[in-house]
Amino acid sequence: MDYQQILNTIQEEMSYRDVTGKVASYIPELAKVDQKKFGMHVYCGDQKNFSFGDSEEKFSIQSISKVFTLAIAMRLMGEDLWDRLNVEPSGDPFNSLTQLEYESGIPRNPFINAGALVISDILLDQLDDPKQELLDFVRKITGDDDIHYDKKVASSEKSTGYRNIALVNYIKALGNIKCDVEPIVDFYFHQCSLAMSCKQLSRAFMIFANRGKILETNEKILKPKTVKRINALMQTCGFYDEAGEFSFQVGLPGKSGVGGGIVAIHPDNYSVAVWSPILNEKGNSELGMKALERFTTLTGVSVF
Amino acid sequence: MDYQQILNTIQEEMSYRDVTGKVASYIPELAKVDQKKFGMHVYCGDQKNFSFGDSEEKFSIQSISKVFTLAIAMRLMGEDLWDRLNVEPSGDPFNSLTQLEYESGIPRNPFINAGALVISDILLDQLDDPKQELLDFVRKITGDDDIHYDKKVASSEKSTGYRNIALVNYIKALGNIKCDVEPIVDFYFHQCSLAMSCKQLSRAFMIFANRGKILETNEKILKPKTVKRINALMQTCGFYDEAGEFSFQVGLPGKSGVGGGIVAIHPDNYSVAVWSPILNEKGNSELGMKALERFTTLTGVSVF
Amino acid sequence: MDYQQILNTIQEEMSYRDVTGKVASYIPELAKVDQKKFGMHVYCGDQKNFSFGDSEEKFSIQSISKVFTLAIAMRLMGEDLWDRLNVEPSGDPFNSLTQLEYESGIPRNPFINAGALVISDILLDQLDDPKQELLDFVRKITGDDDIHYDKKVASSEKSTGYRNIALVNYIKALGNIKCDVEPIVDFYFHQCSLAMSCKQLSRAFMIFANRGKILETNEKILKPKTVKRINALMQTCGFYDEAGEFSFQVGLPGKSGVGGGIVAIHPDNYSVAVWSPILNEKGNSELGMKALERFTTLTGVSVF
Amino acid sequence: MDYQQILNTIQEEMSYRDVTGKVASYIPELAKVDQKKFGMHVYCGDQKNFSFGDSEEKFSIQSISKVFTLAIAMRLMGEDLWDRLNVEPSGDPFNSLTQLEYESGIPRNPFINAGALVISDILLDQLDDPKQELLDFVRKITGDDDIHYDKKVASSEKSTGYRNIALVNYIKALGNIKCDVEPIVDFYFHQCSLAMSCKQLSRAFMIFANRGKILETNEKILKPKTVKRINALMQTCGFYDEAGEFSFQVGLPGKSGVGGGIVAIHPDNYSVAVWSPILNEKGNSELGMKALERFTTLTGVSVF
pLDDT per residue over C210-236, tens digit each? 999 999 999 999 999 999 999 999 999
Would the CB atoms of B243 and A88 count as touching at under 8 Å? yes
Half-sphere exposure of D22 (CA within 13 A, CB side): 6
Would the CB atoms of B88 and A244 count as touching at under 8 Å? yes
Residues in contact with A188: Cβ distance below 8 Å, sequence separation at least 6, in sequence order:
A116, A117, A120, A164
For C185, other C-beta atoms within 10 Å of its C-beta total 22
pLDDT < 70 regions, chain B:
92-96, 302-303
D258 annotated ligand-binding residue: yes
Contact D253/C at CB under 8 A: yes
The pLDDT tens digits of the residues spanning D132-168 come to: 999 999 999 999 999 999 999 999 988 889 999 999 9
- Among the listed residues C103, C64, C111, the one whose alpha carbon sits nearest the alpha carbon of residue C87: C111
Exposure of D155 by Cβ count < 10 A (0-12 exposed, 13-18 middle, 19+ buried)? middle
Residues of A in contact with D105 (CB under 8 A): none
Residues of A in contact with B237 (CB under 8 A): 244
Q: How far from the centroid of its chain's Cα atoms is residue D229's Cα?
A: 15
Cα–Cα distance for residue pair D162/D164, rounded to 1 Å: 5
Mean pLDDT across C106-111:
93
Residues of D in contact with C95 (CB under 8 A): 91-92, 95, 98
Residues in contact with C83: Cβ distance below 8 Å, sequence separation at least 6, in sequence order:
none
What one-character DSSP code corresponds to residue B112?
S
Cα–Cα distance for residue pair B87/A91, rounded to 1 Å: 11
Surface of A (171-230) touching D: CB under 8 A: 172-173, 181
Instruction: Judge contact between B279 and B264, C-beta under 8 A.
Output: no
DSSP string, A50-108: EEEESTTS-EE-GGGHHHHHHHHHHHHHGGGGGGT---S----GGGHHHHHHHTTT--S
C-alpha R_g of chain C: 18
Tell me the nearest-neighbour CA distance from A183 into chain B, angstroms.
Answer: 30
Using CB atoms, pick whichever of D94, D162, D181 lies closest to residue A172: D162
Tell me the nearest-neighbour CA distance from D124 into chain A, angstroms.
Answer: 19
- Among the listed residues C269, C271, C268, C273, the one whose alpha carbon sits nearest the alpha carbon of residue C224: C268
Surface of B (74-103) touching A: CB under 8 A: 86-92, 94-95, 98-99, 102
C268 pairs with which residues across the strands?
Answer: none
Cα–Cα distance for residue pair C176/B277, rounded to 1 Å: 29
Dihedral-angle region of residue D53 (phi above 0 means left; psi in -120 to 50 means alpha; beta otherwise):
left
Chain C interface test: which of B95, B96, B98 (most C C-beta within 10 Å): B98
Q: What are phi and psi of B187, to 5 degrees?
A: -65, -45
Cα-Cα end-to-end distance for chain D? 21
The confidence band for C303, taking pLDDT boundaries of 50, 70 and 90, is low
Cα–Cα distance for residue pair D11/B33, rounded to 1 Å: 63
Would the CB atoms of D167 and A166 count as touching at under 8 Å? yes
Residues of D in contact with C304 (CB under 8 A): 227-228, 231-232, 235, 253, 267
Chain D interface test: which of C94, C109, C222, C236 (most D C-beta within 10 Å): C236
**Closest-approach residue (CA) in chain A for B226:** A248
Residues in contact with B190: Cβ distance below 8 Å, sequence separation at least 6, in sequence order:
B131, B134, B149, B154
Would you state the pLDDT for residue C62? 96
Would the CB atoms of C236 and D244 count as touching at under 8 Å? yes
For B37, other C-beta atoms within 10 Å of its C-beta total 18
**Which CB contacts under 8 angstroms, 24+ apart, belong to D135-142?**
D137/D68, D137/D71, D137/D72, D138/D68, D138/D194, D138/D196, D138/D204, D140/D214, D140/D221, D141/D203, D141/D204, D141/D206, D141/D207, D141/D214, D141/D221, D142/D196, D142/D200, D142/D203, D142/D204
Would you state the pLDDT for residue A303? 67
Tell me the nearest-neighbour CA distance from A167 into chain D, angstroms.
Answer: 6
**Closest-approach residue (CA) in chain A for B303:** A303
Q: What length does chain B have?
A: 304
Would the CB atoms of C166 and B163 count as touching at under 8 Å? no
Mean pLDDT across D255-282:
95
B113 annotated ligand-binding residue: yes
Using CB atoms, pick whichever of B95, B228, B231 lies closest to residue A91: B95
What one-character DSSP code corresponds to residue D271?
E
Using CB atoms, pick whichever of C101, C163, C168 lies closest to residue B94: C101
Provide the whole-model pTM. Answer: 0.92
The confidence band for D17, taking pLDDT boundaries of 50, 70 and 90, is confident
For chain D, give every domain's residue range: 3-299
The confidence band for C286, taking pLDDT boundaries of 50, 70 and 90, is very high
Question: What amino acid occupies position B51?
Answer: S
Exposure of A17 by Cβ count < 10 A (0-12 exposed, 13-18 middle, 19+ buried)? exposed
Tell me the nearest-neighbour CA distance from C269 into chain D, angstroms.
Answer: 11
Residues in contact with D119: Cβ distance below 8 Å, sequence separation at least 6, in sequence order:
D66, D69, D70, D73, D85, D110
In the predicted structure, residue D207 carries a pLDDT above the cut 60: yes
A93-to-A30, A240, B13, B87, B174 alpha-carbon distances in Å: 22, 8, 42, 16, 22
What one-character DSSP code corresponds to residue B95?
G
Would the CB atoms of B101 and C102 count as touching at under 8 Å? no
Q: How far from the centroid of its chain's Cα atoms is residue C256's Cα?
A: 5
Cα–Cα distance for residue pair A67/A204, rounded to 1 Å: 11
**Closest-approach residue (CA) in chain B for A88:** B244
**Closest-approach residue (CA) in chain D for C301:** D267
Mean pLDDT across D97-109:
83
ipTM confidence score:
0.91
Residues A216, A222, A226, A232, Cα dihedral to 10°: -30
Cα–Cα distance for residue pair C190/C5, rounded to 1 Å: 37
Helix (H), strand (E) counts: chain D: 12, 10
The confidence band for D285, taking pLDDT boundaries of 50, 70 and 90, is very high
B120 annotated ligand-binding residue: no
The confidence band for C24, taking pLDDT boundaries of 50, 70 and 90, is confident
SS3 string of chain C? CCHHHHHHHHHHHCCHHHCCCEECCCCCCHHHCCCCCCEEEEEECCCCEEEEECCCCCEECHHHHHHHHHHHHHHHHHHHHHHCCCCCCCCCHHHHHHHHHHCCCCCCCCCCHHHHHHHHHHHHHHCCCHHHHHHHHHHHHHCCCCCEECHHHHHHHHHHCHHHHHHHHHHHHCCCCCCCHHHHHHHHHHHHCEEECHHHHHHHHHHHHCCCECCCCCCECCCHHHHHHHHHHHHHHCCHHHHHHHHHHCCCCEEECCCCEEEEEECCCEEEEEECCEECCCCCEHHHHHHHHHHHHHHCCCCC
The pLDDT tens digits of the residues spanning B272-283 come to: 999 999 999 989
Half-sphere exposure of C240 (CA within 13 A, CB side): 16
- Residue range D3-299 forms a domain whose CATH class is alpha beta
In the predicted structure, residue C92 carries a pLDDT above the cut 80: no
Q: What length does chain A have?
A: 304
Mean model confidence pLDDT for chain B: 93
With b for 16 or more beta-carbon neighbours within 10 A and e for fewer, the B120-147 pattern comes to bbbbbeebeebbeebbebbbbbbeeeeb
Question: What amino acid occupies position D239?
Answer: F
Using CB atoms, pick whichever of A95, A242, A244 lies closest to residue B233: A244
Chains that touch A (3 or more CB pairs under 8 A): B, D
Would the CB atoms of B181 and C163 count as touching at under 8 Å? no
Residues of A in contact with B229 (CB under 8 A): 248
C60 pairs with which residues across the strands?
Answer: C195
Handedness of CA A19, A25, A27, A31 (dihedral sign): positive
Would you state the pLDDT for residue C5? 95
- Among the listed residues B7, B5, B58, the one whose alpha carbon sits nearest the alpha carbon of residue B272: B7
Would the CB atoms of D91 and C86 count as touching at under 8 Å? no
Give, in degrees to the nearest 5, the angle at Cα D157 between D155 and D161: 125
pLDDT < 70 regions, chain A:
92-96, 302-303
Using CB atoms, pick whichever of B231, B236, B304 lies closest to residue A231: B304
Chain C interface test: which of B103, B162, B163, B171 (most C C-beta within 10 Å): B162
Residues of A in contact with B70 (CB under 8 A): none
**Closest-approach residue (CA) in chain C for D241:** C88
Handedness of CA D218, D222, D226, D231 (dihedral sign): negative
Cα–Cα distance for residue pair B222/B224, rounded to 1 Å: 6
A148 pairs with which residues across the strands?
Answer: A195
C-alpha R_g of chain B: 18
Would you state the pLDDT for residue C100? 82
Using CB atoms, pick whichever of A95, A102, A166 lies closest to residue D166: A166
Using CB atoms, pick whichever of D94, D165, D181 lies closest to residue A101: D94
**Closest-approach residue (CA) in chain A for B231:** A304
- Among the listed residues A138, A156, A165, A149, the one whose alpha carbon sits nearest the alpha carbon of residue A25: A156
Mean pLDDT across D249-253:
90
